[in-house]
Amino acid sequence: MLYLGIETSCDETSVGIIENSSHNEWLTCRSCVIASQIPLHQLTGGVVPEVAAREHALKMIPVLTEALKKASLSLEKIDAIAVTQGPGLLSSLLVGTTCANTLSTILQKPLIPTNHIAGHIYANWIDGNGTAPQFPIVVLTASGGHNELVLMRDHHDFAELGATLDDAAGEAFDKVARLLELGYPGGPAIEKAAKNGNPHTIPLPRAWLEKNSYDFSFSGLKTAVLRVVTAELEKNGQLSPAFVNDVAASFQSSVVDVLSTKLLRAATAYNAKEIHLAGGVSANTALRSAITAKAQGFTFRFPQKMMYCTDNGAMIAAAGAFLHKIKQFHSGITIPRSSLPL
């Protein structure tokens, strides 16, 4: 079957088309088109919701048209439409859900409202080969808007083991990048600067929280960065490239240390077969390397392509495909076309 996924929850307008197979659980991406708003939001150093929503409205139809063209498909060939219903910016979500609702009504095809974080998690089912993921799986989701440790015992069976108490990891990357004047989005900029820095020159704290806690907290780390940056400015009047690189390396090392250690501890405690990384921060190669080094005995997966790490329509189509399958399997009915609950 062919699933079309629409994602407009934050600053990417994206449509992906996914095909499932009858002989294994891997999903094939037929096309994934992303119109990034990053250059627009660089002007303000972050996302302004009204600006984002207007841009989604401009890009929605061109992105949809291009995704169909790249997959060499007409709309009539699509079997179901999945769309991000939340969490996200309300006015941005409305653009995607309105488009999905309209397509579902015109084409008389099922509409599958999909959770954005479930979408990130299902990015790990796209374009793989060999044995498909085996449960139980412990997933670390780390993005700009969310950060959780999730136990997945089956498809769409999610139990939250822990979550951020304040900033999400990606948000911390973005805020620290702003303090270091590295621009938006912060994750890739910090990763690049960290490659030339020494993580031991400027020691920064690690928030382990209570013993055995699977929660995260990055606001103390952010404040610690603010303190060293302020002290440096008072002393030297500017931030040298070497200082910026060292702070970036030290900050990244603190985040990676906490994320990877808690992920591995949870995987061991819950007898996971696999460890998965999902969300924008899963693009971070230092995080991937740290987990790879610690993940002996577990199958470790992260999205096959960088484009599946950050927000994209293919992951929404992937989550929608499994949701559709489960609902049909359990109830024998297809998900009705209906107004989307937001």
Q: Does 8 bind Zn ion (CB under 5 A)?
A: no
Q: Does 143 bind Zn ion (CB under 5 A)?
A: yes
Query: How many residues in the shown chain lie near ligand KG4 by CB under 6 A?
Result: 20
What residues have CB less than 8 Å from 22, skipping those under 6 apart?
Answer: none
Q: Does 193 bind ligand KG4 (CB under 6 A)?
A: no
Q: Cβ distance 259 to 169 under 8 Å? A: yes
Among 280, 303, 313, 320, binds ligand KG4 (CB under 6 A): 280
Q: Does 317 bind ligand KG4 (CB under 6 A)?
A: no
Among 113, 119, 162, 187, binds ligand KG4 (CB under 6 A): 187
The rounded distance, in Å, linking the Cα atoms of 175 and 45 is 10
The rounded distance, in Å, linking the Cα atoms of 61 and 118 is 24
Q: Does 191 bind ligand KG4 (CB under 6 A)?
A: yes
- What residues pair up with 132 in beta bridges, in sequence order? none
Among 149, 283, 335, 340, binds ligand KG4 (CB under 6 A): 283
Q: Which residue has the tokens 């089956």?
A: 154
Interaction residues for ligand KG4, span 130-159 (CB under 6 A)? 143-145
Q: Does 312 bind Zn ion (CB under 5 A)?
A: no
What residues have CB less than 8 Å from 51, skipping those under 6 apart?
Answer: 37, 40, 41, 44
Rounded to the nearest 10°, the torsion over CA 252, 281, 288, 178 is: -20
Least distance CB 231 / ligand KG4 (angstroms): 25
Q: Does 174 bind ligand KG4 (CB under 6 A)?
A: yes
Least distance CB 23 / ligand KG4 (angstroms): 31
What residues have CB less than 8 Å from 338, skipping those under 6 apart?
Answer: 111
Binding stretches for Zn ion (CB under 5 A): 143, 311
Return residues touching ligand KG4 (CB under 6 A): 10, 143-145, 170-171, 173-174, 185-188, 191, 279-281, 283-284, 310-311
